[in-house]
A = this chain, B = another copy of it.
Amino acid sequence: MIRLVIADDHPIVRAGLIALFGLEPDLEVVAEAGTPDEAVACAERENPDVVLMDLQFGSHADTTGVEATRRIRALEAPPYVLVLTNYDTDADILGAVEAGASGYLLKDAPPHELTAAVRAAAAGESALAPVIASRLLDRMRAPRVSLSSREIEVLELVAAGRSNSEVADELFVSETTVKSHLAHIFSKLDVSSRTAAVSAARQKGILR
């Protein structure tokens, strides 16, 4: 019997997962969590075989799904974590894998893919949705760009429509510095204007 913990902020999705797994004789949902913190607590208390973890936890997110994954994987004798989410942006996938997830599934996956992934995870194998697997390969081919946290901070303000001088004021640096950051961002993203940078960053999942 594979013991499962489900972590998702949508009651509907939780009900759906429980219903699905209820049809499988070898799977048992032992707890459900609506927040990342609850998820960590459940994992610690129930000591399940697999945790199904959403990445997006509503706006009141104290902790993220990635952070919860990291903390669960840091427990002693940690359960395997399967990430189950709507989006498949590069940043999300990489982040989740780095945090120790052993699989990454999309919510629109057919149910049999889901149950198969759970069984694979419980057996210690990694399970990636086909879409995700091919995306990961793409990522390997075209090595990923990573912006520094400061650069992301600048880009977020630019994306909100701020001018260089406004960004400078908000970050308590000179306008020159902002322009310098932007120049680096442009070269990393291979673009040549602020608007194109915002667009590229969104496409790559650096910005939401």
Identify the A interface with B (CB < 8 A): 9-20, 58, 86, 107-111, 114, 158-163, 191, 193-200
Please, how many angstroms separate the alpha-carbon atoms of A77 and B191 in the complex? Answer: 54
Listed residue (A15, A58, A110, A159) with the most chain B CB atoms within 10 angstroms of its CB: A15
B residues within 8 A CB of A9? 108
- Name the residue of chain B whose CB is nearest to the CB of A23: B15
Q: Which of B12, B58, B191 is close to A13, meaning CB atoms less than 8 Å apart?
A: B12
B residues within 8 A CB of A108? 9-11, 58
- Name the residue of chain B whose CB is nearest to the CB of A14: B16
Interchain CB contact under 8 A, A199 and B159: yes
Instruction: Please state the number of chain copies in the assembly.
Output: 2
B residues within 8 A CB of A19? 15-16, 18-19
Interchain CB contact under 8 A, A193 and B163: yes
10 pairs of residues in contact across A and B, judged by CB atoms under 8 Å: A9-B108, A10-B107, A12-B107, A15-B16, A15-B111, A86-B86, A158-B195, A161-B191, A162-B196, A198-B199
Please, how many angstroms separate the alpha-carbon atoms of A20 and B15 in the complex? Answer: 7
Please, how many angstroms separate the alpha-carbon atoms of A17 and B11 in the complex? Answer: 10
Please, how many angstroms separate the alpha-carbon atoms of A66 and B191 in the complex? Answer: 35
B residues within 8 A CB of A193? 161, 163
Q: Which of B10, B15, B194, B200 is close to A195, meaning CB atoms less than 8 Å apart?
A: B194
Q: Which 5 A-B pairs have the closest CB atoms?
A: A161-B196, A16-B16, A15-B16, A19-B19, A12-B16
Q: How far is the CB of A49 from chain B (nearest CB, A)?
A: 20
Interchain CB contact under 8 A, A200 and B16: no
Interchain CB contact under 8 A, B160 and A114: no
Q: How far is the CB of A78 from chain B (nearest CB, A)?
A: 25
- Name the residue of chain B whose CB is nearest to the CB of A106: B10
Interchain CB contact under 8 A, B198 and A12: no
Please, how many angstroms separate the alpha-carbon atoms of A191 and B160 in the complex? Answer: 11
**Given A11-B20, A163-B193, 18 extra CB contacts under 8 A:** A9-B108, A11-B108, A11-B109, A11-B111, A14-B16, A15-B17, A16-B16, A18-B19, A19-B19, A86-B86, A158-B195, A159-B195, A159-B199, A160-B199, A194-B195, A195-B198, A198-B198, A198-B199
